[in-house]
Amino acid sequence: MPTLDGVTTAALPTGLEVRTREVDPPAGGLLSLLPEARGALSWVRGGEGLVGWGEVARFTGTGAGRFAEADAWWRRLLAELDVTDEVGLPGTGAVAFASLTFADRSPGSVLVVPRVIVGMRGGRAWVTEFGDPHPMTAAEPVRPSTRLRYADGDLPVAGYRAAVAEAVRRMRAGELDKAALAHDLLAVDEAPHDPRHLLRGLAERYPTCWAFAVDGLVGATPELLLRKRGAVVESRVLAGTVWPGEGSLSSDKNRVEHAYAVDSLAERLRPFCRSLEVPSEPTVLALHNVSHLASDVRGRVRGDASLLRIAGAVHPTAAVGGTPREDAVALIATLEGMDRGRYAGPVGWVGADGGGELGVALRCAQLAGPVARLFAGCGIVADSDPDTEVREAAAKLLAVREALEG
């Protein structure tokens, strides 16, 4: 594959015909269509969204410019396509699934353009095909996990607790206000993991989250980083968490953590918007295993800024990075001592009009053959207690563990 300034890309197809046509809704739901052999691509919430398989083209990139480079690559590819869209809904026409790394230095940011995309919205279903029509046949049976065993990842629990304690010490010394620290856990099976097993398990347990799968990263996130439709951009900020039986979402610690996250998003989003609506008080989002403080921010975009360009400016928000952002990201790299990869990075899809949906890759695992690398993290502020944060991270890991074991 040719490379240019850290970007690796398959040769761009030219003159490729792309057609979106309406079809009957799949009887078993979108996830039932995914074949194992051709890779699972998903962005589904409450039965609606997009799935895809096969591969027409791929972008990979590293560095601070990866968002702009991905956007430029996508625009060049779109210029070579002959698109017929008979449906005209968000998610129809040419679509790329996206998953970008948390840190600038991490390799692995990708855009994947699938050969076949099937979508559902508002009771209507469609298929988008690149090239000749593709028959939708029954997918192979999903393979469940067999005999899982767990092992320490790059940052075990003891190391995570020590990292939290050191972060709290630095915050109390006035070095920074917040940092979102994470650790990892390995789930090793006897055979390669089937991504569809984890994807379906998470979708069933967390129907109000976005169940995603892109290039082996599989998860279910409650946090919408950005949605862009036309001139409207939206974001759901989650920060401040409690798990059953401990803590209060109304605590000063959770309120402060949430305020940092909302303020950082609004600050980064405002230059792209003619107007911006920021709620004065958060609401509560209750999930299967934890509850979060949530704020929905909405703005009207100035000019033609694309979803990827805006995402490059707002990522990472204080919810998954910290405050001040540069200090927090540096502290994360120092104290975690591991490469997060695409955990806590933007994940979702982008469309031909520059819009789409990107969530934050949380409650997820990176699958590589028989090894699943699970991640979970917490927002740390000066009032954080290391033992409480360890338990909170364990509660978040439980989401993926239950889905793998189910």
Tell me the mean pLDDT in the region 192-203: 96
Residue 221 has which token pair?
A: 């996130």
pLDDT at residue 6 greater than cutoff 60: no
User: Of residues 69, 129, 223, 389, which has the active-site annotation?
Assistant: 223
Tell me the mean pLDDT in the region 303-320: 93
Quote the CA–CA distance of 172 and 154 in Å, as a whole number. Answer: 27
| SS3 sequence of 242-286 | ECCCCCCCCCHHHHHHHHHHHHHHHHHHHHHEEEEECCCCCEEEE
pLDDT at residue 254 greater than cutoff 50: yes
| Coil, helix or strand at residue 302 | coil
Give the Å distances, CA to CA, from 284 to 124, 235, 249: 31, 15, 8
Round the average pLDDT of the chain to a whole number and report it.
91
Q: Mind listing the domains of the chain with CATH numbers?
A: 3-130 (no CATH), 149-194+224-340+362-405 (3.60.120.10)
Residue type, 64: A
pLDDT at residue 78 greater than cutoff 90: yes
Give the Å distances, CA to CA, from 254 to 116, 208, 291: 43, 22, 11
Contact by Cβ (8 Å): 239, 256? no
Give Cβ neighbours of residue 275 (< 8 Å, ≥ 6 apart): 299, 300
DSSP code string of 179-245: EEEEEEEEEE-SS---HHHHHHHHHHH-TTSEEEEETTEEEEES-EEEEEETTEEEEEEEEEEE-TT
- Of the pLDDT bands very low, low, confident and very high (cuts 50, 70, 90), residue 7 is very low
* More confident call, 173 vs 222: 173
Parallel/antiparallel/unpaired status of strands 109-113 and 116-121: unpaired
pLDDT value, residue 285: 81
Q: How many residues does the chain have?
A: 406
Quote the CA–CA distance of 292 and 296 in Å, as a whole number. Answer: 13
Residue type, 38: R
Quote the CA–CA distance of 43 and 357 in Å, as a whole number. Answer: 9
pLDDT at residue 185 greater than cutoff 60: yes
Instruction: Express as a percent the part of the chain with pLDDT over 90.
Output: 77
pLDDT value, residue 39: 81
Contact by Cβ (8 Å): 299, 246? no
Tell me the mean pLDDT in the region 144-158: 96
* More confident call, 38 vs 378: 378
Residue 164 has which token pair?
A: 């939290």
Q: What is the dihedral of CA 121, 127, 128, 130, to 10 degrees?
A: 160
pLDDT value, residue 203: 96
Tell me the mean pLDDT in the region 330-354: 97
CA atoms within 13 A on the CB side of 44: 33
Peptide bond into 324 cis (omega under 30): yes
> CA quadruple 205, 188, 214, 364: dihedral positive or negative?
positive
Annotated active-site residue 175? The verdict is no
* pLDDT tens-digit map of 101-133: 999 999 999 999 999 999 999 999 999 999 888
User: Of residues 69, 129, 178, 257, which has the active-site annotation?
Assistant: 178
Give Cβ neighbours of residue 371 (< 8 Å, ≥ 6 apart): 186, 187, 188, 189, 193
Q: What are the two backbone dihedrals, phi and then psi, of residue 187, each rounded to the nearest 5 degrees?
A: -115, 110
Tell me the mean pLDDT in the region 171-191: 96
Annotated active-site residue 178? The verdict is yes
pLDDT at residue 11 greater than cutoff 70: no
pLDDT at residue 5 greater than cutoff 50: no
Q: What are the two backbone dihedrals, phi and then psi, of residue 11, each rounded to the nearest 5 degrees?
A: -55, 130
pLDDT value, residue 14: 65
pLDDT at residue 19 greater than cutoff 70: yes
pLDDT value, residue 251: 82
Peptide bond into 316 cis (omega under 30): yes
Residue 347 pairs with which residues in a beta bridge?
A: 99, 359
Residue 320 has which token pair?
A: 């998954």
Lowest mean pLDDT among 42-46, 358-362, 368-372, 391-395: 391-395
Residue type, 71: D
